[in-house]
Amino acid sequence: MMDGDSDNESDFEFVQDEFRNDLDDQDMPRVNRIWINVPDADLFQFPDEIQTFSRPMGPVRALTPDVNANPIDYFNSLVTPSDSASLMELLVRETNRYAEQFLSDPGYDPKPNSRSHDWHETDIEEMSAYIGLILSMGILKKPSIESYWQEKESTWLFQTPGFSAVMRRDRFQLISKFLHCNDNTTYIPRGQDGYDPCHKFRPVLDLVNKTFPKAYNLARDLTVDESMVGFKGRNDIVQYVPAKKSHQWGAKFFVLCESDTGYNVSLELYTVNAYVIYIQNRGLRAKITRVEFVMDLCRGLVGTYREDRGRPGRPRAIAMRRLTERHFIEMIEGKKRKRCTLCSKKIRTRCPSCGVGLCLTTCFKAFHTVGNVSRHGLEE
């Protein structure tokens, strides 16, 4: 009885949502559309008998990995076109390009303690690990990005040391700052011929729309589904759909997909299509849930990558100044205190030229004489 009641309630909620949609449509302003004449039905010739669907269905064996392959292999097969750069190569190229454009801008004046000073070019291995951490955040949800790297003693119960083992929080946020998949110099402003509201991610759309149809033979029963990708940024494609419970703000996509499996021919989460091919290739072998599949995919993306903490990166102008210019220490006014940038002690002295707190004894001298220093001590 309980199950039946819950089904009725869900059906009632669905009817209410549809009713609200109708009301919303009535409140929307009318748009003048061009009338198209209805074609004459006599011109259509319908067959007397519908032929049996006989086309091959399922994964294209020549383009999909072996049945014993890992989820990362299926993922890579869907984001690696045969005639162009892969998704990871695209992200690496455009992220490095945008970082160079951003940092070389004459109007860019970073603060002395800005993490942008530490930027060095990313590569495919690091970008794969970055995407793996992003997908892991979808499984293990926390209130903020910073909370994945918390190491305070008071938060021991909620710590996730795996994230800090792969890369530093500052490096993760720095990649997020410069992450791009298209060249900004090719952008056409709104109102001009050739303007594309999807310019920021158009290469990714083109890539997956090229690889998805080639890797899978669709069955007879297809459907065009509506998909909302949550997003609240400023863009023409953003819509507000109050009836959506998951994402009310976002970009709406119409996705052609297979009714039985949900395999998409257009844009959708990449792991969905990889999961469908993975399950069908394995057949009656050991079953795996979608969450388990994504977890295996995250492990495959991260792999054995660990950030080289001793990597110096590009020469920093601020580092050159602190080693060559004459800096003097001063007391912090009032009762305020700063943490020493080397030993992390709370102190009342700082270097005003560098904008960092430094101990009066060894730390001030080391900071202005040693080439490679970090926020928590001297680098070997």
Question: Which has the closest alpha carbon to 368: 351, 347, 346, 349?
Answer: 351
Given this model, what pLDDT does residue 14 score? 40
The answer to whether the beta carbons of residues 280 and 261 sit under 8 Å apart is: yes
pLDDT > 70 in the chain, percent: 72
Calculate ∠ Cα 237-239-241, nearest 5°: 155
Residues 346 and 338: their CA atoms lie apart, in Å, by: 5
Cα separation values, 365 from 315, 317, 326, 348, 376, Å:
20, 19, 12, 16, 15
What is the band of 168 on the pLDDT scale with cuts at 50, 70, 90? Answer: very high
Nearby residues of 96 by Cβ (< 8 Å), 6 or more positions away: 121, 122, 178
Given this model, what pLDDT does residue 166 score? 93
Given this model, what pLDDT does residue 133 score? 95
pLDDT tens-place string over residues 14-46:
444 444 444 444 444 455 666 767 667 666 666
Cα separation values, 78 from 60, 73, 209, 214, Å:
12, 9, 10, 9
pTM to 2 decimals? Answer: 0.62
Q: Which H or E element spans position 279?
A: helix 270-282
Q: Does the pLDDT at position 7 exceed 50?
A: no
Question: Which has the closest alpha carbon to 164: 114, 139, 129, 138?
Answer: 129
C-alpha radius of gyration, the chain, whole number = 27
Q: Does the pLDDT at position 82 exceed 50?
A: yes
Place of tokens 């291995």: 125
Structure token digits, residue 206: 């083109």
pLDDT tens-place string over residues 251-267:
777 778 888 888 887 66
Residues 218 and 29: their CA atoms lie apart, in Å, by: 39
pLDDT tens-place string over residues 195-249:
887 788 889 888 988 888 888 888 888 887 777 777 777 666 667 777 777 777 7
